Amino acid sequence: MANANIPEYTLVSECDLPKEVEEIMLEGETFIKAYKTFRDSVTFTNKRIVFRDS
């Protein structure tokens, strides 16, 4: 298999639902967990994974 550019994230600590993500959540979408990376965050919902670049 060829080398792929797959980003890596180190999840540093659990955090609350970021306000920016809450504002774009879809109808019927529910928050599961969010984690801080070193400067960004990743949020898991029942419909998607949202990567937030700070």
Position 41 in a domain: yes
Q: Would you state the pLDDT for residue 4?
A: 79
Task: For residue 19, tell me if it sits in a domain.
Answer: yes
Give the residue with greater pLDDT, 52 vs 35. Answer: 35
State which residues form the domain around 33.
13-52
Q: Give the amino acid at 1.
A: M
Model confidence pLDDT, tens digit, residues 30-46: 999 999 998 899 999 99
Determine if the pTM surpasses 0.85.
Answer: no
Best CA proximity match to 37, nearest among 18, 16, 13:
13
Do residues 43 and 21 touch, judged by C-beta distance below 8 A? yes
Number of domains into which the chain is organized: 1
Q: Looking at the domain assignment, is residue 37 inside a domain? A: yes
Q: Does some domain include residue 7?
A: no
Residue 8 inside a domain? The answer is no
